[in-house]
Chains A and B, each alone.
Chain A
Amino acid sequence: MLILNQLSKSYGNETVLKNINLEFGKGLYALLAPNGAGKTTLIKILATLIIPSSGNIMYNGLNIVQMCDQYRAEIGYLPQQVGYYANYTPRQYLIYLGALKDIPRKQLNGKVGQLLDLVGLSDVADKKMRKFSGGMIQRVGIVGALLNDPQILLLDEPTAGLDPKERMRFKNIVSEISNDCTVILSTHITADIDFIANYIIMLKDHTVLYHDTAEQIRSHYKECVYEAVMPQSRAFEYRKQYLILSEQYDGNNVRLRFYHRGIAEQDWILQSPNLEDIFLIVYKEEERETVKC
């Protein structure tokens, strides 16, 4: 069990995280927030790359900063930009990484083959990585993070720069892994975590806004997402008045999906909110209010 107690991080006068309290058990936890909200800082603190300004993180009752190497042996970390030596093959790279992680060589050879199989890279295991696509590098990176059988897997925006096919493959791999360990995945792309995240953590104003299941978070916005079909000329009014979540054009008409709390008009159709709607409501509504003021 990983517990964050009153965790804060500031750089000089700038606060990045403020009084974060969280608990992680087994399963997939999605850290959802826009860019610059402190996701990467939080992931780096969990990876022991950054020490928090105040508060602590306890892993099975012990402080991770004091555990250090012992804790690091329990984690797998995939940074936002996966590091790799271009002149290495995936096999060479993973054996190198495994040696640095103090994994016995005998165990390592079998494991590398097995994990490369899992991510579908067996056929390029002995090819230099300099010609690999972003998705392939990402898959090598995830194998590197899994080499030591981590109990906690930290993935920092793992799908950034991947095409839809790679993204889907990655989603499946992560979903499979999360059955056996704690996976903490930071992202600002809701599609990456839809249906696979057990819990969603949303950060706002440097602190935790929601830490709940997707269903529970959706329930907060149960009766405030609507759709309405109207001529394009009328859509202008709506754009000014409501937070538009999506627009679909159909000839001269437009189907608007928007957010509204209060009494609905007759021709509006109530919708069940999805994660993307909620993301926009949480982070865009604030911007809108600021602009209005």
Chain B
Amino acid sequence: MKKEEWPTKEQIDESISHIIDFGIKKRPKSGNHINAIELLQRIGLKGLFPNRLTIIVIICVSAALYGLAVYQSNSEIQLIRMVFAFSPLTFMCVILAGEEYLRKSNMNETEMICCFNLYRLTAVRMFLISIMSILINTSIIFPLYLVNCETNVFYIAAISNSSLFLVSLCMVVYLAGRKHEKMILFFPVLWIAVNGFLSGTEIYSSLIINGSQILHWIIAIVTAIIYLQQLKSFTKRSYGEEGKIVC
């Protein structure tokens, strides 16, 4: 009887890795930073932001508008109002441009059934845009100290971040539901209108104008944590609300 030959060590190793590869399918890791890095490595910024030219223009225009609003303020009260109202502008406009581009490209269904699905992409995009918005806002706010050394730039930064994360949280909660898909386009208008409406009220005055720096940092941190948790839940999400397609 012919004796069957033993496989070589290389063949055994190859078979083991084949079994392991087959059995343990790699899934995208959760957690925004890991996903962001993983996605960036795989598809690059170009893939993550296919409408990058539009985004660059939006960033330039919104940053210029923000700078104009901040540096043209006559008083500290006006400065605070402007910072609170305009800090989320870049974030909102970039997100909206991305959503609109996605809608027009009809890519939502195609991206939804991929391993890195639409929700995971949205989460990473929002995470990166938030970081970018903080950097842009901060780089505009801190030189205020050079213009007027009496300006409490840390207080202004606290207001800027609390406003940014409040809006970010509202947007991520809205995107999770997507009950009326085009309503999101009215977010910037709604935010400015709400600000304009509330700016004359007592509650706005006591919370925004005369609120403490600690309170604003607390608001910023709490909303940022909830926002990041929402984004994390996006990274684990595979279906739209009630099984409907997103967007």
Contact = CB atoms under 8 A, between A and B. Distances in A.
> Do A and B come together as binding partners?
yes
Interface of A: 44, 47-52, 65, 68-70, 72-73, 75, 77, 79, 81-88, 96-97, 99-102, 105, 144
Contacts, number: 87
B115 A84 contact: no
A129 to B, nearest CB: 10
B211 interface: no
Interface in B206-247: 238-239, 242-245
A73 B115 contact: yes
Contacts of B115: 69, 72-73, 100-102
A206 B163 CA distance: 50
B50 A83 contact: no
A151 B92 CA distance: 40
Given A51-B243, A85-B107, A77 B113 contact: yes
Given A72-B114, A101-B115, A85 B245 contact: no
Interface of B: 25-28, 42-43, 47, 50-51, 53, 105-117, 121, 238-239, 242-245
A83 B114 contact: no
Given A72-B115, A85-B50, A96-B47, A79 B105 contact: no
Contacts of B110: 77, 79, 82-83, 97, 144
B106 A99 contact: no
Contacts of B50: 85, 87-88, 96
A102 to B, nearest CB: 4
A90 to B, nearest CB: 14
Contacts of B245: 44, 49-50
Contacts of A105: 42
Contact of A79 (B42, B51, B106): B106
A149 to B, nearest CB: 14
Contacts of A65: 239
Contacts of B105: 83-86
B6 to A, nearest CB: 31
Given A69-B27, A85-B50, A100 B111 contact: yes
Contacts of A47: 109, 113
Contacts of B112: 49
B103 to A, nearest CB: 10
B234 to A, nearest CB: 15
A141 to B, nearest CB: 8
B43 A96 contact: yes
14 contacts: A47-B109, A50-B243, A50-B244, A69-B27, A69-B115, A70-B25, A72-B114, A72-B115, A84-B106, A85-B105, A87-B53, A96-B43, A100-B43, A100-B115
Given A81-B106, A86-B105, 18 more contacts: A44-B109, A44-B245, A48-B113, A49-B109, A69-B238, A72-B114, A77-B109, A82-B110, A84-B105, A87-B50, A88-B50, A96-B50, A100-B114, A101-B115, A102-B26, A102-B114, A102-B115, A102-B116
